[in-house]
Amino acid sequence: AQRVTQPEKLLSVFKGAPVELKCNYSYSGSPELFWYVQYSRQRLQLLLRHISRESIKGFTADLNKGETSFHLKKPFAQEEDSAMYYCALSGNTDKLIFGTGTRLQVFP
Amino acid sequence: EADIYQTPRYLVIGTGKKITLECSQTMGHDKMYWYQQDPGMELHLIHYSYGVNSTEKGDLSSESTVSRIRTEHFPLTLESARPSHTSQYLCASVSVSYGYTFGSGTRLTVV
């Protein structure tokens, strides 16, 4: 069965600390993985996708097929990074399967 | 401006009422989706469409129905609202280049 697991509902760090939001997936084929972000009172938006191999707003995520993980990382968190982060998977269709999300709080 | 629009943003309605949640996009995308999200939970796909006159049910069973008479319009209807329908409903359209674009959502409360 296709599934995305985000084990942490809430992650709190201080400004300047490293951040890692965990995401594990279950999929039998070759998935496409995404991270979506929702800032306060804004709509859900794409942060990054694994095929792009980009760094967006200082965030990176590497697909590890051996560990079936797609953790989101940032070396130095900023207060403006506080938001809800969703990991999502797309299989052989466009349909997205979402995790339950992790709320990141960055304290000054 | 090319975007996806959902109305209303918030809706409080009595049990038994018929409601339609509007979703329109001006990007010319063929693929559109409705997701339902309860507080603190993941988004669940309830309906999708790959073009005009094409609609399919998603992974989560829903008593709602959808229609796709025009490319830009993908409304969701509840014939008789119940408190169990209280949730947030998100509409999205998809392009190959930019992936998903989500609307702002409709937060529905049925009392």
Given a contact cutoff of 8 angstroms between Cβ atoms, the answer to whether A64 and B4 are in contact is: no
Mean pLDDT of chain B: 93
Mutation test of the interface with chain B: which of A5, A6, A94, choosing the one with the most B Cβ atoms within 10 A? A94
Residue A105 has pLDDT above 90, yes or no: yes
Question: For residue B26, what are the β-bridge partners?
Answer: none
- Written as six digits, the tokens of A100 are 């339950």
Task: Give burial (CB, 10 Å; 0-12/13-18/19+) of A56.
Answer: middle
CB contact under 8 A, B40 and A100: yes
> pLDDT grade, residue B61 (50/70/90)?
confident
CA distance B4 to chain A (A): 11
> pLDDT grade, residue B91 (50/70/90)?
very high
Question: Residue A14: what pLDDT?
Answer: 97
Answer with the residue of higher pLDDT: B99 or B103. Answer: B103
Percent of chain A with pLDDT over 90: 72
Distance between CA A88 and CA A67 in Å, rounded?
A: 16
Three-state DSSP at B38 gives coil
| Per-residue model confidence as pLDDT tens digits over A8-40 | 999 999 999 999 999 999 998 888 899 999 998
Question: Residue B83: what pLDDT?
Answer: 95
Partner A, chain B 82-101, Cβ-Cβ below 8 Å:
90, 94, 98-100
Q: Give the residue among B85, B106, B73 at the shortest CA–CA distance from B16.
A: B85
Distance between CA A34 and CA B70 in Å, rounded?
A: 29
Question: Residue B70: what pLDDT?
Answer: 96
- Within 8 A by CB and 6+ apart from A10, the residues are A102, A103, A105
Token pair 């399919």: residue: B56
Mean pLDDT of chain A: 92
A98 touches chain B (CB under 8 A): yes
